[in-house]
């Protein structure tokens, strides 16, 4: 399977990801795939499924939008935004995290390496009430 075909299928999967479709990760990820983001570092498709199942328990209405795909011979990068609600159920405030996924594929077109890059300080911590004040204060003090 070509990298372009794999990344197109994976992008579609992420843009339609739901709590129920987390079960479909083995269609796109190798059994021993590696995954890392600012909060998790796991190996194995079952562990990756647990990370995303946890996401659906922690935030409301998580939804990924892929804005750009950069494809190479054995890998790709996805530029994305994750929209979600954080706070009390049914009344959470809309949030967006912008990030990039660096991906590598095996010969069968399955993901073997997935590294997410996004700024937890800017995209998440700065939006929390008490911690956010401190983060904004530090940003002002450290900015040139």
What DSSP letter does each residue of 76-99 carry, written as one string? Answer: EEEEEEEEEEESSTTTPEEEEEEE
Determine what percent of the chain falls in helix, strand and coil, rounding each to the nearest 5.
Answer: 40, 40, 25
- For 103-119, the pLDDT digits (tens) are 999 999 999 999 999 88
What is the tens place of the pLDDT at every residue in 30-39?
999 999 999 8
Question: Are the C-beta atoms of 71 and 7 separated by less than 8 Å?
Answer: yes
Are 44 and 29 within 8 A, CB to CB?
no
Question: Model confidence over 55-87: pLDDT tens digits?
Answer: 999 889 999 999 999 998 889 999 999 998 877
Residue spans per domain, the chain: 3-118
Domain 3-118, CATH number (from 3.40.50.200, 3.40.50.11810, 3.30.70.1400, 3.10.450.50):
3.10.450.50
């Amino acid at each position: 399977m070509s990298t372009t075909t794999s990344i197109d299928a994976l992008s579609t999967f992420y843009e339609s990801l739901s709590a129920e479709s987390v079960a479909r990760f083995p269609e796109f990820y190798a059994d021993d795939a590696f995954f890392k983001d600012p909060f998790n570092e796991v190996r194995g498709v079952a562990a990756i499924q647990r990370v995303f199942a946890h996401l659906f328990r922690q935030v409301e209405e998580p939804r990924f939008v892929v804005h750009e795909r950069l494809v190479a011979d054995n890998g790709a990068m996805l530029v994305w935004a994750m929209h979600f609600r954080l706070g009390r159920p049914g009344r959470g405030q809309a949030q967006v995290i912008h990030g990039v996924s660096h991906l590598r594929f095996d010969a069968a077109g399955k993901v073997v390496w997935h590294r997410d890059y996004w700024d937890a300080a800017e995209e998440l911590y700065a939006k929390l009430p008490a911690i956010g004040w401190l983060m904004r204060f530090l940003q002002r003090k450290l900015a040139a």
